[in-house]
Amino acid sequence: MWADEAALDAVAQRLDRWEASFADRAQRTRSLTSQVEALTGTAHNPDRTVEATVDSTGQLVDLRLDERIRQRPAAHIAEQIIAAARAAYADLLRQVTEVTREILGDDPAGAAIVESYQQRVRPETGGAGAAR
């Protein structure tokens, strides 16, 4: 079937490179997944009376309120909590972007991963959870 051994060797080498490329991509994907799963985003409001932390899925996992917050109206406190949580989401997305670029470089798949992640963990900008 093959005209000569050199052509057969070239095809075999090409298949080996292709297989190695898939194995490398799978390893980088596993590394990216484990690093992203370990990330958290944390932020605070300007006067540092509110600090919010979100986990890698975008869930609020910690909220710290300084005692000075008691001197503020409830509506102000709610606004500060929401602002700190949104800033924590932004911190998380910044970290996800950095890790993705470190591991995948300029691979278009990296940009798609970051965009998809951003869509999943983006905080609501209005609606039921927003302070009024």
Tokens of 94: 């910044």
pLDDT at 2: 52
Average pLDDT over residues 59-69: 96
Q: How confident is the model at residue 12 (pLDDT cuts 50, 70, 90)?
A: confident
**Per residue in 13-43, pLDDT tens?**
888 888 787 888 888 888 999 999 999 999 9
Average pLDDT over residues 76-90: 95
Tokens of 26: 């799978």
What number of CA atoms fall less than 13 Å from residue 112's CA on the CB side?
Answer: 3
pTM: predicted TM-score of the whole model, two decimal places: 0.76
Average pLDDT over residues 77-101: 95
